Structure 1
Amino acid sequence: MAAHWILLVLLLYFGVLMLIGYVTGKQADSYDFFVARRQSPWYVVAFGMIGASLSGVTFISVPGWVGTAAFSYFQMVLGYLAGYAVIAFVLLPLYYRLNLISIYTYLKERIGKHAYKTGAAFFLLSRTVGAAFRLYLVAMVLHVGIFQHWGASFGLTTFISLLLIWLYTARGGIKTIVWTDTLQTIFMLLAVVFTIWFIKDDLGWSWSQMSEHLAQDPRSQVFFWDDWKDKKFFWKQFISGAFIAIVMTGLDQDMMQKNLSCRTLRDAQKNMITFSWILVPVNWLFLTLGLLLYAYAEGHGIGLPAKSDMLYPTLAFNHFPWIAGLFFFVGIIAAAYSSADSALTALTTSFCIDILGFEQIKDKKKQERLRRWVHVGITFLLWLVIMIFHRLNDESVINAIFTAAGYTYGPLLGMYAFGLLTQRRAIDRWVPWVACLAPCITWVIAQNSERWFNGYRFGYELLLINGLLCFVGMWAASRRAGV
């Protein structure tokens, strides 16, 4: 597919997003930007969250991951269901009862100012790294598909990608994103379904023949029960999935900001439960797509790219007919930006409220001016982190995201667990030290686990170790209530 046609599609696509941003951003103020005045329809939020949760990482990395990890990722997806239930029936009632805009305000009320600032800081670190990883993928695809043909650098490609997001989210924030994410989820799912249909027809299979091939392929294995030391072992994946859902959704301002824009707690809970059950078959679709991509490459004698993340883009741009390449391009843009736009808004929200004390500023014009400058600053920060990651990345991006989450979200898990499960009073000034020490000890354990624990290799359950260490540290630096 020619680069100028891809660019035209990109401009048309963002023209639609800009139109939505203009309509929803009319006369929008900071309250609209942060929580859309709590007027978002729950079913719109639920559908849009599919795209925001999956992102470009799922779109590219999960299909490529099938080659080495089979369908083991689905074990984590099943664990997500347990995690989302905790969010719906434990965390959301708490957030609505306290009428929160930033969910980290809970830490201030339960533990103290230092815990509050520490929790917000870890979110800002976590989401900045996660959003940069996700945007790295789409910038890489845009660079290969369009901008490198005109001699543009990867840095310029990334800058243009971020500028487009900034333009349509600058005024409406979450009020805009609730609707743009819905549109982008539709495009993403259409792209996946069309690609599956195209490969099936290209290989000359009926639907039943395709199902038979998938079932016989050893890469379609879902459950791994035999080796408890293996990263793919079921219980390691399932339990890790549950806690990853809790921390990367329930303790994440980005994902919770959409839930908090619903009219009532009941609406937010309906949104979360509906979203979680839709997510299961959608993830199965992506795994199925991955197996079909490998079958297509093998059937046509196409050599596999060095990085599994590039399997889908390589086939779409270089081997699929132009219509299939077009669907891929629209799908990856939709998947990546539905996650990135909300991340940019959530980072802006958290920095304004949690770090700058935005609500204490009474002058509305000063509030708006400050929010806009923070929005610009966060955009530049994401560009900088993406450029650093571009220099360093040497592994599957989805693996990098979950590994990073184990270190950066662990302290949040420990702090919230301490607040919710105990009545003890933490010594607030010690919380930042405990929260920083826990991931450092976790890293040491991970580096030496095979030598210390008879060959055991930690996977994503490092998140649990990290959270437990933070919890224990806070318990040690606490006293009984009333003392």
Structure 2
Amino acid sequence: MTGLDQDMMQKNLTCRNLQEAQKDMCVYGLTFLPVNALFLGLGILLYALCAAEGITPPAASDELLPSLVSAGVLGHWVIIPFTIGIVAAAFSSADSALTALTTTVCIDLLQIERGDLSEASARRIRHRVHLCMVGCFVLCMVLFRLANNTSVLDAIYVMASYTYGPLLGLYAYGIFTRRSVTDTFVPFVCLLAPVFCAALDYFAPRLWGYTFGYELLLLNGMLTFAGLWITSVRRSSDEVLCVAR
């Protein structure tokens, strides 16, 4: 999934050739394993500390560390590196996400690189789009805070189940099949698959007593794959040879 993300993809596009980009993706993905294990161990230790000290952990798991830091359980000096780390992580993520969104809107949607725009006009458009993206970020954070009743991490994975499912289906379809997609139907397939998953997630507990979790991402991808297959056509041998070359 790293190669499908606009933010992550920009790191791979800086590589000089395909082999270096593939190596970068594999190494970058493998480096997540020890980091994830480290943070998982930290979470286990924090809950063990709460049990040992008789502290009731908050309902939202992502509030555990801030609550312990603000209460001084880990020492009063911990607030300094904690604040620096939170600010650094927030700025790093927000900066790359804003850059990716601004680039997508300006290049793909507004097409500011066309020849009839001067450099000054293109710069003004980029600045305005960037400010609009900042405003959208602030609005999304406020709405997310008002509407969310679970942990932030859980909500992010739920949203990723809907947004990344079509990407996963498209990626798998391009790798494992040689059938040509019908361009007209692709947007509809990618929109209908998450809608169907949302309806299934709503009715499944009421009809069958089953609650979907993160496996909704796999179902979303499979529905997208199936929709692309149904609306596609088989390539001729000449088309396959052209693509291979």
Range moving further from structure 2, 401-410 or 298-307:
298-307
Supply the distance in 1 between the matched residues of 2:82 and 2:56 (Cα, whole angstroms).
Answer: 20
Letter in 2 for 1:327: P
Counterpart of 2:43 in structure 1 is 290
Alignment deviations for residues 134-178 of structure 1 (CA, whole Å, 9 cap, x no partner): xxxxxxxxxxxxxxxxxxxxxxxxxxxxxxxxxxxxxxxxxxxxx
Counterpart of 2:11 in structure 1 is 258
Tell me the TM-score normalized by structure 2.
Answer: 0.86
Find 1:315's aligned residue among 48, 68, 74: 68
Counterpart of 1:391 in structure 2 is 146
Supply the distance in 2 between the matched residues of 1:306 and 1:254 (Cα, whole angstroms).
Answer: 31
| 1:378, distance to aligned residue in structure 2 (A) | 0.7
Question: What is the SS of the residue equivalent to 1:305?
Answer: coil
Find 1:359's aligned residue among 107, 110, 113: 113
Find 1:409's aligned residue among 161, 164, 167: 164
Higher RCO structure, 1 or 2 (CA under 8 Å, sep 6+): 1
Counterpart of 1:281 in structure 2 is 34
Counterpart of 1:431 in structure 2 is 186
| 1:421, distance to aligned residue in structure 2 (A) | 3.0
Counterpart of 1:186 in structure 2 is none
Letter in 2 for 1:353: I
Check conservation: 2:170, 2:224, Cα contact below 8 A.
yes
Structure 1 unaligned blocks of 5 or more? 1-245
How has the CA–CA distance of structure 1 residues 373 and 442 changed in structure 2, closer, same or farther, with 3 Å as cutoff?
same
Range moving further from structure 2, 319-328 or 249-258:
319-328
| 1:397, distance to aligned residue in structure 2 (A) | 1.0
Tell me the TM-score normalized by structure 1.
Answer: 0.45
| 1:345, distance to aligned residue in structure 2 (A) | 0.7
Find 1:337's aligned residue among 64, 83, 91: 91
Counterpart of 1:209 in structure 2 is none
Runs of 4+ with >6 A deviation: none
Counterpart of 1:195 in structure 2 is none
| 1:275, distance to aligned residue in structure 2 (A) | 2.2
Number of residue pairs the alignment of both structures matches: 235
Question: What is the SS of the residue equivalent to 1:359?
Answer: coil
Query: Pairwise mapping of residues 9-408 of structure 1 onto structure 2 (< 5 A)?
Result: 246=1, 249-319=2-72, 320-361=74-115, 363-408=118-163
Alignment deviations for residues 243-279 of structure 1 (CA, whole Å, 9 cap, x no partner): xxx2xx2211111112212333333333323322222
Question: What is the SS of the residue equivalent to 1:409?
Answer: helix
CA RMSD between the two structures: 2.2
Letter in 1 for 2:235: A
Check conservation: 2:3, 2:25, Cα contact below 8 A.
no
How has the CA–CA distance of structure 1 residues 387 and 288 changed in structure 2, closer, same or farther, with 3 Å as cutoff?
same
